[in-house]
Amino acid sequence: MLIETHNLRKTFGDTVAVDSLTLSVGAGEVFGFLGPNGAGKTTTVKMLLGLVAPTAGEARLLDHRPGDPAIMGRVGFLPEQFRFPAWLTAGDFLDVHGRLYGLPAAERRARIPRLLARVGLADRARSRLGEYSKGMMQRVGLAQALLNDPALVFLDEPTSGLDPLGRREVRDLIHELRAAGVTVFLNSHFLSEVEVTCDRVAIVKRGRVVRIGTLAELTRQTTEVEIRAAGLTAEVVMGLERWGRAIADLGFGIADSASPIRNPQSEIRNADSARLTLTIASEDVLPEITGYLVQSGARVYAVAPQRISLEELFMRVMEEEE
């Protein structure tokens, strides 16, 4: 494993920023680390990079302690908030970082133009960074993070400030890194990008990891079924509670509720295509649900399991009570 933590904890006074963080990330894996602002994501990255000392617990990076000079030359990092010297050109900026990494001059001369071309800045290599837009600064930051040909790279909001084309280019770059065996630890608020990029995801809330797994594993934990039928009465909908939670669609004239529908006197219009969503534990109960609807007199047009998106899962996790 390239990253391993065990009960990692960080407090600032009475504030717990990271609590009991235990995870592992393997070689060639793109690992998404998600959570709202203040959830402890950046503090976790700083501990893994050796920039902040943990209060308790332990972490290993490439089988060394974080910050160990023996391995930090194999780690790349793009922070969310960066301040690059405005008076340097892009080429000079990368050359300075190449010197800090100890790269030979010939290697720097070969690698810097190639990286600038890869992030779409080949024609701005001699422009000063003070002339760059935010998106261009983000691109040169990506080039800097990859300059040392890292085995492990931390990307904190790498698509911030980029247009849709730029975000797609970053996504393609991450795919290339994975194909080359590079491990990527990714913080991002663009959940749709994470969904098509990451192999596994951890969702962090108030300093704790509350969900972790592959996208398939996480989204399979909650199964939703879309039921489209006519003749759905309040009593029929209430009867579905034995299998899960029903949320009816107002757009089809059915009472809408975040909890099971409790009022059997609710006015429910027998629309030709009324629709509701039922949250169930397993698809194994679908035949029972269909049979119940038919026996109750409903005319069933569809009983279709739906895969929830990462964004939907994330919002539900954030809304859950502790």
pLDDT at 273: 58
Q: Note if the pTM is more than 0.85.
A: no
Overall average pLDDT of the 202-225 stretch: 82
**pLDDT for res 50:** 92
The residue that leads in pLDDT, 273 or 148, is: 148
DSSP structure class, residue 307: P
Can you give 117-138 as a three-state secondary structure string?
Answer: HHCCCHHHCCCEHHHCCHHHHH
Q: Say yes or no: 215 and 230 in one domain.
A: no
211 and 140 share one domain: yes
Q: Could you list the residue range(s) of the whole structural domain that residue 270 is in?
A: 222-319
Q: How confident is the model at residue 116 (pLDDT cuts 50, 70, 90)?
A: very high
pLDDT over 70 (residue 264): no
pLDDT tens track for 294-319 = 998 888 888 887 777 788 788 878 87
Residues 242 and 115 in one domain: no
Q: Which long-range contacts (CB under 8 A, 24 or more apart) does 266-274 make?
A: 266/234, 268/232, 268/233, 268/234, 268/237, 270/230, 270/231, 270/232, 271/230, 272/230, 273/228, 273/230, 273/301, 274/228, 274/229, 274/230, 274/232, 274/248, 274/249
pLDDT at 263: 38
CATH of residue 249's domain is: 3.30.70
Residues 103 and 207 in one domain: yes
Q: Assess whether 46 and 160 both reside in one domain.
A: yes
Do residue 106 and residue 210 come from a single domain? yes
End of a domain among 219, 240, 255?
A: 219
CATH number of the CATH domain containing 155? 3.40.50.300
Cα gap 90→92, rounded to integer Å? 6
User: Are 135 and 193 in a shared domain?
Assistant: yes
Q: pLDDT above 70 covers what percent of the chain?
A: 90
Same domain as 110, residue 186: yes
Q: What is the reported pLDDT for 248?
A: 64
For residues 116 and 250, state if they share a domain: no
pLDDT-derived band at 237, boundaries 50, 70, 90: confident
How confident is the model over 265-284, as a mean pLDDT? 61
**Residue 160 confidence (pLDDT) above 80:** no
Q: Which whole number is the average pLDDT over 263-270?
A: 38
Residue 321 confidence (pLDDT): 54
Alpha carbon distance 113, 14 (integer Å): 48
74 and 55 in a common domain: yes
What pLDDT does 114 receive? 92
Q: Which of 162, 190, 219 is the last residue of a domain?
A: 219
Task: Using pLDDT thresholds of 50, 70 and 90, give the confidence band for residue 221.
Answer: low
How many folded domains does the chain comprise? 2
Q: Which of 181, 198, 219 is the last residue of a domain?
A: 219
90 and 33 assigned to the same domain: yes
Same domain, 153 and 60: yes
CA–CA separation, 128 and 225 (whole Å)? 55
Share of the chain above pLDDT 90, in %: 33
